[in-house]
A and B are shown apart, each in its own frame.
Chain A
Amino acid sequence: MTTMTIAKAINEGLRATLKNNPKALLMGEDIGALGGVYRVTEGLKKEFGADRVVDTPLAEAGIIGTAIGLALRGYHPICEIQFDGFVFPGFNQITTQLAKIHARSAGQLSTPVVIRIPYGGGIGSIEHHSESPEALFAHTAGLRIISPSNAHDAYWMIQQAAACPDPVIVFEPKRRYWQKGEINTDDPGLDPFQARVIHPGTDATIVVYGPLVPVALAAADAAEEDGHSVEVIDLRSISPMDFETVSTSVEKTGRLIVAHEAPTFGGVGGEIAARISERCFYALESPVLRVGGFHMPYPVARVEEHYLPDVDRLLEALDRALAY
C-alpha cells in the first residue's frame, strides 16, 4: 500500500506501462520537458527518452492520426489531449478511423490506442477547459470509455487501458488530480470495465463516475443524517457499461439517481435510465432521475457552481425520488 495523488498515480501507471511494454509510447502536446500542463507525465521523458515520450506538434488530429499509424505498425501509443474541449480537432480521426478500423478490416487489424483526456469543470477556468464530452464518444461503437475516480483506479486503469487490444479513452477527473488515496500496487482488483459499489445502502442508489464520486459520497453521508440509506456506485466504465451492478442495486433499493457533469440531454444518464427502466421496471418505486449539466455551453467560471451537480442537488433529487 502506498498513498499518492491521482495525478501521481497516473504518472506511476504510465511509468509501469513504459517499463513493461517496449512498444508503448506517450504522445501529446507539452508532455516532455514540461511534463504536461498538469505534470501527469513529469519525469517520463527524462527516464525513457524522446522517442517514447513524444512532444508532438500542436495538432490533435495529427496526434490521433499518427497514433493510429503507429498502432498499425505494432506500437501502443498513449495520447494526451491537453483539455477536454480540445479533443474536437481529433474527433474525425477518433470516430471515423480509430473506432472503425477493426470492423473495417473484418477483425484483421487492431488499433490499441489510448487517449487520455483531463475532463470536467470546477477549476475556475476559461472556455473549453471544463467540458465533459464523454457521451459523444460513448455513442461510437468500437471505442471503450473509462473514468477513474481515485488513485488506486487511476494507477491500474491506465495500465489496463494500455494493455487492451481495443481503443480506450480515459477521461481523467482533472479537478481531482490532487486528491490523495491509497494504492495497492500488487492487486488491481476489479476489471476496468466493471462498476464498483463504494457505499452500501438500501433506500436509493446514486450512480456517478469520475469527478462526482466524492460529491455522491458526501450526499450519502448527509442523507444518512436524515435517516436515508443511500447506495453509491462508481460506474468506472462508460463503454461498456456495467448494468448488472446497477440493476442489482436498484432491485434492492427501488430508486435510482444518475449524476454527471455533462448535460443531461442525450447524456450517459439517459442511457442508464432507459436500460434500468427496462430491466427493473417492477422493482422501481420512482422514475429514474438525472442530475447533470444544463443544455448550454459550459458556463463562465464565476457561475459554474450553479451548473455543476453538488451535494444539495443530489439531495434534492433524492427527496423527489423518495416522495413517490
Chain B
Amino acid sequence: MAEAQLPTTEFDLTGPDDAREALAEAEAGAPEVHMVQLLDEHGNLHHDGTFSPYLQRLDAEKLRSFYRDMATIRRFDQEATALQRQGELALWVPLTGQEAAQIGSGQASEPQDYIFPTYREHGVALTRGVDLAQLLRLFRGISHGGWNPKDTNFHLYTLVLAVQTLHAVGYAMGIQRDLASDPDAVPAAVMAYFGDGASSEGDVHESMVFAASFQAPVVFFCQNNHWAISVPSEVQSRVPLVNRAAGYGFPGIRVDGNDVLAVHAVSQWALEHARSGAGPVLIEAFTYRLGAHTTADDPTKYRLAAEEDKWRAKDPLVRLETYLRKENLVDDAFFAGIRADGDELAGYLRKATLAMTVPDIRASFAQVYAQAHPLVTEELEWVERYQASFPDAAESVDERNGGAA
C-alpha cells in the first residue's frame, strides 16, 4: 500500500485531512459532534456555558497539580519503557499522549468512587495513590495484579478487553443497594475505562444496556486514542463513539482528551450526575496514543509520521504549561523541581524493580481458591516432594529467587 493511502483517523476536524474526513463523515451520515474544549492547544481558554463554571473550583495549586501529575506519569512511562528495553520488564504499555485524559478524569474522582481500568491507566493509578512501582509487578512477570484495590479503590488491570465494564456496572449496582439499605451510606460512583478498540466488544454493549436499565451510577470513560493496535477507530465505528450513548438512553459527551481542564470538568459533571442517582454517562475523550500500543508494537507499519506530528502539536502538557506561564502561576523553578522529582522517581522505580523478588510457586497454589481445594493441596504436596527429592533442593530455590541476597 502506498503511504498516501494509509488510513487516517476519523472525525478530527482540525487536521490536514479535514475535507476528506468531512466528506467521509457526510457519506456515513455521521452528524457533527460538539467537542468540549476549555483550553486549546495554544494555551488559550474558551468559554463553555456548562463546563467553564467548573474552572471556578480550581485554585492555583490544583492547576499546578494537573501539570505535576501529567509530567510525573510521562516520566514514569519513559522509565518503564527503558526498563522494558533493558530486559527488566516483559512488556510495557505506554500512555504518552493520553496524560490529560487520565489525570483529568482521575483527579475528578473522589475517594469513595471506584475505578475499573483497562491496562493503560497508569495516570489514573497515580491520581488514586497507587505506588507506581507496584504497577510494574505485572509487567515484571511476578504478579497478575500487583496492588490491593481495596487500598485505593483502583481495581486491578484486566487484559481481556472490556470485561471490566460489566464489573463496573455490577459494582455500581452494589452501590445502589448499599444506599437503599443504609441512609448514611456515602453516595459514590464507578468509573469504567476502555478504549475505542474495546468499544467493539460485546461486553461494552451489555454493560451499557445494564447500566441504563438499572440507572446504575457509572461513568463510562472511553479514551478514543484513535488506534486499536493497527486498526484506526473508523473501523470500530462509522459514527462518533459518543453518539452511542443516545442509543442506550443516557448522556454522552465528547471532550478534548488532551485538555486536562475540560476532561476534569466533564468528569466532575458526570460523576456528580451518577452519584446523584441520575444514571450513567458516557464520556469520549478524544485523544491520541503518541507511542506504540505496547513495546512489542511498531506504529510505522500502519500510520504516518505526519499524523503523529499533528497530534504532537496538541500535546496536553505543552498547552497547560503555556497557560500556567501566561497566568504567572508557575516559574522556572516549578518545572526544574518537577524534573528533579522525575529523576528521583526514575531511581526509585529502577531500584524497586530490581529488588522485586520472584514469588515461590507455592504462592500460586495458595491463591487458586479461597477455601482449600483437595486437588490443589494434592498437587502442591507433589511439588514439594518433587523439589525436595533433589539433593541441592534448598540451593535451587535460592537460585530461582535471584540468589540468596
What is the interface of chain A, defined by CB distance below 8 A to chain B?
A: 22, 25, 51, 56-57, 59, 61-62, 64-75, 77, 89, 92-93, 96-97, 100-110, 112, 141-142, 144, 164-166, 193, 239-243
Q: Which chain B residue has the least Cβ–Cβ distance from A58?
A: B209
Q: Which chain B residue has the least Cβ–Cβ distance from A107?
A: B367
Give the one of A25, A65, A92, A141 with max B CB within 10 A.
A65
Is B373 part of the contact surface with A, judged by Cβ < 8 Å?
yes
Contact between chains at B174 and A69 (CB < 8 Å): yes
Q: Which chain B residue has the least Cβ–Cβ distance from A51?
A: B177
Known: A51-B177, A56-B210, A65-B163. A103 touches B170 (CB 8 A): no
Known: A106-B143, A107-B367. A241 touches B375 (CB 8 A): yes
Is B391 part of the contact surface with A, judged by Cβ < 8 Å?
no
Q: Which chain A residue has the least Cβ–Cβ distance from B163?
A: A97
Is B206 part of the contact surface with A, judged by Cβ < 8 Å?
yes
Is B271 part of the contact surface with A, judged by Cβ < 8 Å?
no
Q: How far is the CB of B378 from chain A (nearest CB, A)?
A: 9
Known: A62-B207, A92-B163, A102-B370. A51 touches B180 (CB 8 A): yes
Question: What would 7 more interface pairs be, CB under 8 Å, given A62-B206, A69-B166, A240-B375?
Answer: A66-B169, A69-B170, A72-B155, A73-B173, A102-B367, A112-B370, A142-B368
Contact between chains at A59 and B178 (CB < 8 Å): no
- Secondary structure type dominating chain B contacts: helix
Contact between chains at B167 and A65 (CB < 8 Å): yes
Q: How far is the CB of A221 from chain B (nearest CB, A)?
A: 32
Contact of B156 among A74, A104, A239 (CB under 8 A): A104
Known: A57-B206, A59-B206. A73 touches B170 (CB 8 A): yes
Stretch from B95-103, B144-152, B253-261 at the A interface: B144-152
Contact-residue size bin, chain B (C-beta under 8 Å from the other chain): 35 or more
Known: A22-B181, A72-B167. A164 touches B371 (CB 8 A): yes
Known: A51-B177, A66-B166. A103 touches B172 (CB 8 A): no
Q: Which chain A residue has the least Cβ–Cβ distance from B151?
A: A108
21 contacts between A and B (CB under 8 A): A59-B209, A61-B203, A66-B207, A68-B166, A69-B166, A69-B169, A69-B171, A70-B173, A73-B174, A73-B178, A92-B160, A96-B163, A97-B160, A100-B144, A102-B369, A102-B370, A107-B366, A109-B149, A166-B370, A166-B373, A243-B374
Contact between chains at B144 and A103 (CB < 8 Å): yes
Distance in angstroms between the alpha carbons of A144 and B170 in the assembled complex: 22
Q: How far is the CB of B148 from chain A (nearest CB, A)?
A: 5
Contact between chains at A72 and B163 (CB < 8 Å): no
Q: How far is the CB of A72 from chain B (nearest CB, A)?
A: 6
The residues of B that contact A241 with a CB separation of less than 8 Å are: 375
The residues of B that contact A144 with a CB separation of less than 8 Å are: 369, 373
Contact of A166 among B150, B210, B213, B369 (CB under 8 A): B369
Q: How far is the CB of B130 from chain A (nearest CB, A)?
A: 14
Is B387 part of the contact surface with A, judged by Cβ < 8 Å?
no
Contact between chains at A57 and B210 (CB < 8 Å): yes
Q: How far is the CB of B362 from chain A (nearest CB, A)?
A: 13
Known: A68-B166, A69-B167, A69-B174. A57 touches B368 (CB 8 A): no
Is B285 part of the contact surface with A, judged by Cβ < 8 Å?
no
Distance in angstroms between the alpha carbons of A243 and B166 in the assembled complex: 37
Q: How far is the CB of A168 from chain B (nearest CB, A)?
A: 10
The residues of B that contact A22 with a CB separation of less than 8 Å are: 181
The residues of B that contact A103 with a CB separation of less than 8 Å are: 144, 364, 367-368
Is B405 part of the contact surface with A, judged by Cβ < 8 Å?
no
Contact between chains at A65 and B369 (CB < 8 Å): no
Q: How far is the CB of A295 from chain B (nearest CB, A)?
A: 26
Distance in angstroms between the alpha carbons of A117 and B145 in the assembled complex: 30
Contact between chains at B363 and A141 (CB < 8 Å): no
Contact between chains at A66 and B210 (CB < 8 Å): yes
Is B158 part of the contact surface with A, judged by Cβ < 8 Å?
yes
Q: How far is the CB of A275 from chain B (nearest CB, A)?
A: 10
Known: A166-B370, A240-B374. A65 touches B148 (CB 8 A): no
Contact between chains at B174 and A70 (CB < 8 Å): yes
The residues of B that contact A71 with a CB separation of less than 8 Å are: 170
The residues of B that contact A166 with a CB separation of less than 8 Å are: 369-371, 373
Contact between chains at A57 and B370 (CB < 8 Å): no
The residues of A that contact B169 with a CB separation of less than 8 Å are: 65-66, 69
Q: Which chain A residue has the least Cβ–Cβ distance from B172?
A: A69
Distance in angstroms between the alpha carbons of A154 and B321 in the assembled complex: 66
The residues of B that contact A101 with a CB separation of less than 8 Å are: 156
Distance in angstroms between the alpha carbons of A70 and B177 in the assembled complex: 10
Contact between chains at A73 and B171 (CB < 8 Å): yes
Q: Which chain B residue has the least Cβ–Cβ distance from A64?
A: B166
Is B70 part of the contact surface with A, judged by Cβ < 8 Å?
no
Contact between chains at A240 and B373 (CB < 8 Å): yes
Contact between chains at B175 and A59 (CB < 8 Å): no
The residues of A that contact B367 with a CB separation of less than 8 Å are: 102-103, 106-107
Contact between chains at A65 and B206 (CB < 8 Å): yes
Known: A102-B370, A164-B371. A75 touches B174 (CB 8 A): yes
Contact between chains at A141 and B167 (CB < 8 Å): no
Contact of B175 among A62, A73, A141 (CB under 8 A): A73
Contact between chains at A105 and B210 (CB < 8 Å): no
Is B71 part of the contact surface with A, judged by Cβ < 8 Å?
no
Q: Which chain A residue has the least Cβ–Cβ distance from B209?
A: A57
Distance in angstroms between the alpha carbons of A166 and B375 in the assembled complex: 15
The residues of B that contact A61 with a CB separation of less than 8 Å are: 166, 202-203, 206
Contact of A105 among B149, B363, B368 (CB under 8 A): B149
Q: How far is the CB of A80 from chain B (nearest CB, A)?
A: 16
Contact between chains at B167 and A68 (CB < 8 Å): yes
The residues of B that contact A62 with a CB separation of less than 8 Å are: 166, 203, 206-207, 209-210
Contact between chains at B175 and A165 (CB < 8 Å): no
Q: How far is the CB of A166 from chain B (nearest CB, A)?
A: 5
The residues of A that contact B91 with a CB separation of less than 8 Å are: none
Is B168 part of the contact surface with A, judged by Cβ < 8 Å?
yes
